[in-house]
Structures are given as C-alpha cells and as structure tokens.
Amino acid sequence: MSDDNINGIYIFGEHIAHEEVQGMNLRGYIQLVKDAVGPNKINKGVFIRKEKFLENTTLFRCPICKNAITTCGLNSIVCLKGHCFDIARTGYLNFLQRTVKTEYDEELFSSRNIVSEKGFFDPMLRCIGDMIIKNLAEAGNRNVIILDAGCGEGSHLGKIINDLQSKSAGKVQGVGIDISKEGIIMASKAYSDIIWCVADLANLPLMNQRFDVIINILSPSNYEEFTRVLRDDGILIKVVPGSNYLKELRDIFYDVNKQDCSNHKVIDHYSRNFRVLDIQTVKYNKTVDRDELLHIMAMTPLSWRTTNERKVRARNAGINCITMDFTVIKGIKKGR
C-alpha cells in the first residue's frame, strides 16, 4: 500500500471513506486528510510537498502552450488547454514530455551531495546568502521567492534558504529546476519545503516576473528566460568557476595549454544581458582525505574530458588539499 494513495482511501495507514473524497477539490481533500490523521503525520509525509505546490500554482505556467496551470487530483496538474504533468510520489513535478538522459546521473549527484554536505561549497553559498540579505534589506525585508536554475541535487538551494530563514524575518519560498530527473529526485527527498521541478531552463514552466532572486550555480544560463521570470526589481546571481577551481585535478587531467579555466567569456556574456552590480571572488583551500578526493572526482564534469590513465594518476598523486575558487556575479535587468 502506498502512503499517498489517492484512489485507494488509505493515507498514512488511515482509512478515509471514499464518498467523502468524491467531488472534493484538492484543498478540501488535503484538509480532510489533515483532520483524519492529524497535522504531525502530514508534516512528515510526501503530502506536504504536494500541498506546497498547491499553494503556489500561480508561479507556474504550461511549458507547451504557456497557459496557466491548475491542479488535477493529488498526482497531476493540468493547464487550461489540457496538457497534463505528473506530481511524483516524492512531490516533485515533471514538466518534460520525455526524459532527457544526460551525463549528470545518480552517482554524480550523490557524490556532489556528499561533497556539499561536507561543507566544500559553504563559503561560496554564504557569499550568495549575503548578497540576497543585502538586497532584501534594501527592499525592506519583504517575503522572497528564489529560483535555482540548474539546481542539481538541491543542497545549495536548501542551505541558502536555511541560512536566509535564520537571518531574515520574511518568508522564503524556493523553487529548484533541473533537467536531470536523478538530481530532482534526490532534492525532493531531502527538502520538503522547496518546490522541485524537472524542466528545461531554456523553457521555464514559470509565469512572467514572479521571482525576486534567481541563482544559477555552475550551470548553463538562458538570459532571455531569466529576464522573463525575474521581477523588474529582482537580482540574478550567477556562480562560475574561477581560474583555480579544482586546480590540483586540472593540473593532472589536462595538458598545460588546456589547464586554464578562464571565465571571461561567461562574464562578458552575462554583462551583455544583465547589468552587473557586484563581482566577488571566493577562493579557499580545503584539506581532503582520499575518500573526499574520490567524491570530488566523481562529482565534477572535469573528469568527463580526461583519460582513465590520468584519473588513476590523480587518485594516486597524494593530493591532500584542493582549491575552491568561484566568481559570484550579481546583476539586475538591463535598463534599471
């Protein structure tokens, strides 16, 4: 028996009469289940993830016909033209019509998650949090809706929101989008207060001008879409690797002329589309043990473009310290 079985009448093991459910809209249905099993059980279940989406349907639009979206039972949503998208058991939404197979697989995301949980990205995430707090303070500390475009396994958005919630009085709602289903599945299991979607950032299933902040960490950008969904007073924070990012690995993986990881072209492209307000370099070294080094090698696309022989060499090179180097760019829409 599934714990979110809506056609069957068991929710978290509690029986609810079928007649009570028929003809009821989703909000009424959720209330019915809450009354039946008590709010404490609900908070721990997948139910809360679906409710979170229900509360925020106005943020979304159909990626096919661009019309508004409404819910359709507990397990799907439908647009005004009838295009239907699934809400998965763990509560994420799938806006893709077919699964896109990429090199970002479960193994990569699980290593990325381990590296993230060990704090390797924390100083960079704190820099993003500080930029958002500063912006909120200037805007009068109102509620904030954040989009993470290319969120991967979700821990960056999760940590940033936890940080903001401990520092700011306003309400923070996060939406994470990634084209990789594997990443979104992991994210949706770990962070139930955030809305997670499998979607293409080049065709965001989001309404115009709803987001106060877009973050885009080590992921591709689509500035046309970012401009469309960002509020006119919103900010875009993009993180690109600095020239020394994971230098110890790149020195072994590539020949000397290919080792440089210059980000000038990316910054130029950003500044052609958004007005740059601030650029911060966040650079630090972290000691690594062998296990951590293996996860770093498994989480980075840098490993895709080298030979097995070089990867073996890197594993056995006695690397015990790794360089983290990020460029964090904050900007606003052009013309503001």
Q: Which residues form the interface with ligand SAM (CB under 6 A)?
A: 102, 104, 112, 150-152, 156, 177-180, 183, 200-202, 217-220, 301
Task: Considering only residues 271 through 300, tell me which ones interact with Zn ion, judged by CB under 5 A.
Answer: none
Six token digits for residue 255: 């020949």
Q: Which is nearer to ligand SAM, 14 or 105 (CB)?
A: 105
Residue 83's binding partner out of ligand SAM, Zn ion, none, with CB under 5 to 8 Å set by partner kind: Zn ion
Residue 151's binding partner out of Zn ion, ligand SAM, none, with CB under 5 to 8 Å set by partner kind: ligand SAM
Q: Cβ 72 to Zn ion, closest distance in Å?
A: 12
SS (H, E, C) 79-95: ECCCCEEEECCCCCEEC
Given 11, 33, 54, 62, the residue binding Zn ion (CB under 5 A): 62
Task: Considering only residues 240 through 259, tell me which ones interact with Zn ion, judged by CB under 5 A.
Answer: none
Report the C-alpha gap between 278 and 263 in whole angstroms: 16
Residue 63's binding partner out of ligand SAM, Zn ion, none, with CB under 5 to 8 Å set by partner kind: none
Cβ neighbours for 313, distance < 8 A, ≥ 6 positions apart: 252
Q: Which is nearer to Zn ion, 65 or 312 (CB)?
A: 65
Residue 229's binding partner out of ligand SAM, Zn ion, none, with CB under 5 to 8 Å set by partner kind: none
Contact between 206 and Zn ion per CB under 5 A = no
Q: Do 215 and 154 contact (CB within 8 A), yes or no?
A: no
Candidate ranges 37-45, 59-67, 160-168, 269-277; the one touching Zn ion (CB under 5 A): 59-67
Report the C-alpha gap between 100 and 94 in whole angstroms: 11
Q: Which is nearer to ligand SAM, 112 or 295 (CB)?
A: 112
What is the C-alpha R_g of the chain?
21
Residue 179's binding partner out of Zn ion, ligand SAM, none, with CB under 5 to 8 Å set by partner kind: ligand SAM
Contact between 70 and Zn ion per CB under 5 A = no
Segment 45-50 long-range contacts (CB within 8 Å, at least 24 positions apart) = 45/3, 45/4, 45/12, 46/3, 46/4, 46/89, 46/90, 46/91, 46/192, 47/4, 47/11, 48/91, 48/192, 48/193, 49/90, 49/91, 49/92, 49/188, 49/192, 49/195, 50/4, 50/74, 50/87, 50/91
- The residue at minimum Cβ distance from ligand SAM is 152
Report the C-alpha gap between 94 and 85 in whole angstroms: 6
Contact between 64 and Zn ion per CB under 5 A = yes
H/E segment holding residue 312: helix 308-315
Q: Which is nearer to ligand SAM, 206 or 217 (CB)?
A: 217
Residue 202's binding partner out of Zn ion, ligand SAM, none, with CB under 5 to 8 Å set by partner kind: ligand SAM
Q: Cβ 51 to ligand SAM, closest distance in Å?
A: 25
Report the C-alpha gap between 92 and 69 in whole angstroms: 15
Q: Which is nearer to ligand SAM, 28 or 301 (CB)?
A: 301
What residue has token string 């249905």?
Answer: 29
Q: Do 165 and 191 contact (CB within 8 A), yes or no?
A: no
Contact between 81 and Zn ion per CB under 5 A = yes
Residue 205's binding partner out of Zn ion, ligand SAM, none, with CB under 5 to 8 Å set by partner kind: none
Contact between 96 and Zn ion per CB under 5 A = no
Given 12, 16, 75, 83, the residue binding Zn ion (CB under 5 A): 83
Cβ neighbours for 168, distance < 8 A, ≥ 6 positions apart: 133, 136, 141, 144
Q: Do 90 and 49 contact (CB within 8 A), yes or no?
A: yes
Report the C-alpha gap between 90 and 184 in whole angstroms: 10
Q: Cβ 293 to ligand SAM, closest distance in Å?
A: 18
The residues that touch Zn ion, with contacts defined as CB under 5 A, are 62, 64-65, 79, 81, 83
